[in-house]
Structure 1
């Protein structure tokens, strides 16, 4: 009788765990579809004020999460949100400079640790660079960068599942021990090839592949940076606002670095 009871309890635990995983997966799918539809709508409408509003909203939630990971809610959060709203109406570079200078002064006034300035940079500055890139190079370049991040992420997941730790036993980075070299290399490869094809309207084939490769690498670095912040904070996700995904930063970590990368290409006159 005791053995039967133990077997039933074990089977119940297995079913319960499987149900939880399926429920989480379903949430992830629904959220992903919603985000894709939102991005498609913004891309089709292609209105600078709508894009500015989207970036401001992302900056608000992202800054809240970043502030919680780094320091706990406070001065930095309010400054970052205010900067994101202002960004809708003023040139991004000017806004970034203004907010950083004012923020630095307020941090000094309240005698906050110098590390508090970090919240003014992440994700605020990459998003402002992205908005400037949108105004200078158009929605197509933004779409290419977003695609690079998604392709590298999906490619890393698939290759990691299929070949992870089979050729290189050590993890890709101590910051993210679950990532394998095989997964990262596969993800960068997929992003380079497919991203190169996507960017052919902007570059000749050799530059399309080269820029897509370096973009994919930047995306990996962005993912690692957010993982580093979460490890320091001792949390699994940056937030809970996106069911099945975690926080906003969990979705845009690689894209923040990619926006800076694309902005750099624009400044150098390569886009």
Structure 2
């Protein structure tokens, strides 16, 4: 175990710094600051997604991404904006029949997920974001350590280094820790169900980003975070987990 931590020291140092920043934002618990924090991460993630989709030349899309995020600050239901985007894009596509359909992809991923993240905070408060953080981080940490220690069975061909044992261990840890924290928000049965399903969603969020990277044969989405790679490499699980948590909280409570 000690050797495992030592070999990944840079990863843990970066992770500790990121956690400190996140905790600071959480303790302050201010809507503008949280929106700004998510917005900075979103723009980096948007840029990395364009690279993974081989759309580096489509810099004009940054303007629309920024406009959407500014509107999201004032709009009462940020996640609804995705459907507005879809309608506008479909209308534009219908009018200009030769319009490049790929232009919509960065607004499907990761834009819609960040809108759900903001909606989670807007509708359910900072405690829900902390719950999400615990679930996704526990899934990632549990899968990493358990996979390294006892993992033997490949989980998916998309990401050969991930193991089934690691995935199950990560989900189990996240369900336990997430359910324990969630008792301040929901009853135990809901805490278990939501933590379990959100954890599973985060695994496939991670897997989807691995799929995008394999399409262009790159190891990381970027290099801004030492030991972790790019922003997408760090938030990929949240991009599936956040919509799942919003939908489950709205549907079950």
With 39-48 and 199-208 compared, the bigger mean Cα shift is at: 199-208
Residue correspondence of structure 1 range 98-247 to structure 2 within 5 A: 98-104=84-90, 109=96, 111-165=98-152, 168=153, 171-247=154-230
| Conserved? CA contact 1:176–1:224, under 8 Å | yes
- Which residue of 1 is the match for residue 67 of structure 2? 82
For residues 224 and 189 of structure 1, do their structure 2 counterparts lie closer, same or farther at Cα, with a shift above 3 Å needed? same
After superposition, the C-alpha distances for 1:219-269 in whole angstroms (9 at most, x for unaligned) are 111011111111112111111111221111101101111110111023325
| Conserved? CA contact 1:79–1:99, under 8 Å | no
Deviation of the 1:55 alpha carbon: 1.6
Give the alignment partner of residue 30 of structure 1, picking from 13, 19, 23. 13
TM-score (norm 2): 0.88
Inter-partner Cα distance in structure 1 for 2:186 and 2:242? 18
Inter-partner Cα distance in structure 2 for 1:239 and 1:218? 23
- Which runs of 5 or more structure 2 residues have no equivalent in the other structure? none
| Conserved? CA contact 1:192–1:212, under 8 Å | yes
Inter-partner Cα distance in structure 1 for 2:205 and 2:117? 14
| Conserved? CA contact 1:145–1:259, under 8 Å | yes
For residues 178 and 61 of structure 1, do their structure 2 counterparts lie closer, same or farther at Cα, with a shift above 3 Å needed? same
- Which residue of 2 is the match for residue 93 of structure 1? 79
With 71-80 and 112-121 compared, the bigger mean Cα shift is at: 71-80
- Which runs of 5 or more structure 1 residues have no equivalent in the other structure? 1-20
Inter-partner Cα distance in structure 2 for 1:110 and 1:248? 34
Deviation of the 1:110 alpha carbon: 8.9
- Which residue of 1 is the match for residue 251 of structure 2? 268
| Conserved? CA contact 1:107–1:116, under 8 Å | no
For residues 110 and 154 of structure 1, do their structure 2 counterparts lie closer, same or farther at Cα, with a shift above 3 Å needed? same
Give the aligned CA root-mean-square deviation in angstroms.
2.2
After superposition, the C-alpha distances for 1:199-233 in whole angstroms (9 at most, x for unaligned) are 11122222222221111101111011111111112
| Conserved? CA contact 2:179–2:192, under 8 Å | yes
For residues 207 and 94 of structure 1, do their structure 2 counterparts lie closer, same or farther at Cα, with a shift above 3 Å needed? closer
TM-score (norm 1): 0.83
